[in-house]
Structure formats: structure tokens, C-alpha cells
Structure 1
Amino acid sequence: MKQLFYYLTLLTGLLLVFIGARFLLLPMPAETAFGIHTATGGDYSFHYIKGIRDLFTGVIIVILLLAREFRAAGFLLLAGSIIPMVDFSIVMSHADYETARLYPHAIAVVLCLILGFHYIRTTAKS
């Protein structure tokens, strides 16, 4: 089980790095995958904000995991669960949302909560 949680956490961090990089490099396809459509007029400010947020979060998760700072990773994941919760509500608030676009956000919430609680519960205080 310990390895499963480790690899799920690593995968989560690496996926966030990928998603963040995609928002920075390919903003429109990333927006579509996120689940919303905005008229940007060529201004990708939202995309860059989202991209750097996800890239940073993914890098921090991977660093904490590789540094074996599991308790800190647990707190980060629990606190960070608010991000996919809000992302879910943003997608759902659009009148033309597609249900399939909600699933990645819902899965991210569940993963953050399960992984976060696991690391906090199984890691002793220093």
C-alpha cells in the first residue's frame, strides 16, 4: 500500500507539472481540456496564471515526495484540495459545461484528500 500511495502522489505531481506546462505553452488546448471556453482576444493571462499555479504545485509535490517529507506533502495535498474543488465549481458554473470535463477535477479532489490524510495519519511528527 505504501508504494501505491507513493506512486499515486508522484503521478499527481507529474501530471500537475504537465498540465501547468501545457497551459503555459499551449493555452487554448489546455483551456478546452480544463472544461471552459473563454473569449481571450489573444490575452492568455488566465492561462498563464493557471499554468504557473499548477506547475508550481506539481514541482512542490514531487520535491516533498523525493525529499521524503511525507507529512508536509500530506498537509500540502489537504490544503491544495481546495484548488480542484474551486476548479470543479468554475467548470460547473458555465452553462455549456460538459459532464466529462468535471471528472478530472472530482478525481483530483478525492486523490488530494485520500493521499493527504494517508500521509498525515501514517507519518509521525518530527
Structure 2
Amino acid sequence: MLTTVAYGLAIVLNLMCLLIGARFLLVPRAAATAYGVPAKEDSAYLTIKGLRDGTYGLVGLALLAFVGAHAEAWFMLIVALLPLGDTLIVLRNGGPKAAAFGIHFATAVLVLISAALLFAL
């Protein structure tokens, strides 16, 4: 049961990274608004964010598939820094606290839970 939950959560989180990355590439302004800091124009930074998030999703899935749970756990532990940083970015730029804590901080907590579950295997 623990294995199913650990792998399932890791897969869902990695797929969400792919989805978020795709959204920033396809509809960058809407994605930036949902992020918590609306963009005034489509900029290279929105494309960079899309590529970053999509790449993290792919790397996470590859680690899980080809290396194993322990490597994925370390990856998740390190990747948790990104949504924590996103929380601070939203707060520093006057974005809604609901987005900062309800989206980004909550994501960091989920990623840390995923890492803990994977380490427990």
C-alpha cells in the first residue's frame, strides 16, 4: 500500500509539473496570473518558467522509472525548494497570499511528503 501511494503521489506531482510547464508555454499570461504574479506581456521569462517546470517533471519521471524510489526521494527533497521560492516570489511581488500559501507553499508540503514516502520504501 505504501509503495502504491508513494509512487502514485510522485507520478502525479511530476505530471503536474509537465502540465504547468505546458501551460506556461501555451498560454503564458493566463499561467502567470494563476501563479500569483500577473504578467503585463508575454516575455522570455514565462517561457523559461514553462521549460523549467516541464523539465523537472520529465527528470522526475525518468528518475522514478529508471533509477528508483531513493533517487526520486532525493530529487523531490531538492525540488521542494522551488515552490518554497515561488511562495516568496508571490509574496514579495504583492501577489495574493491565497496563491502564495494555498498553491505554492501547499505544493512544497506535498513534495516533501512525497519525498518522505519515497524514502520510507
With normalisation by structure 2, the TM-score equals: 0.89
> CA offset at residue 93 of structure 1?
1.1
The aligned residue for residue 100 of structure 1 is 98
SS state at 2:82 partner: helix
The aligned residue for residue 79 of structure 2 is 80
Whether 1:69 and 2:74 are equivalent positions in the alignment is no
The aligned residue for residue 36 of structure 2 is 35
> CA offset at residue 68 of structure 1?
5.4
**Stretches of 4+ moved more than 6 A in 1?**
none
For the aligned residue pairs, the C-alpha RMSD in angstroms reads 1.4
With normalisation by structure 1, the TM-score equals: 0.86
Provide structure 2 residue ranges, at least 5 long, that are not aligned to the other structure: none
SS state at 1:23 partner: helix
The aligned residue for residue 18 of structure 1 is 19
Provide structure 1 residue ranges, at least 5 long, that are not aligned to the other structure: none
The answer to which structure has the higher helix fraction is 2
Alignment of 1:46-65 (within 5 A): 46-65=45-64
> CA offset at residue 117 of structure 1?
2.6
Q: 1:111 is aligned with what amino acid?
A: L
> CA offset at residue 55 of structure 1?
0.2
- For the 8 Å contact 2:29–2:39, the answer to whether it is kept is no
SS state at 1:39 partner: coil
SS state at 1:37 partner: coil
- For the 8 Å contact 2:84–2:105, the answer to whether it is kept is yes
Whether 1:9 and 2:7 are equivalent positions in the alignment is no
Q: 1:34 is aligned with what amino acid?
A: Y
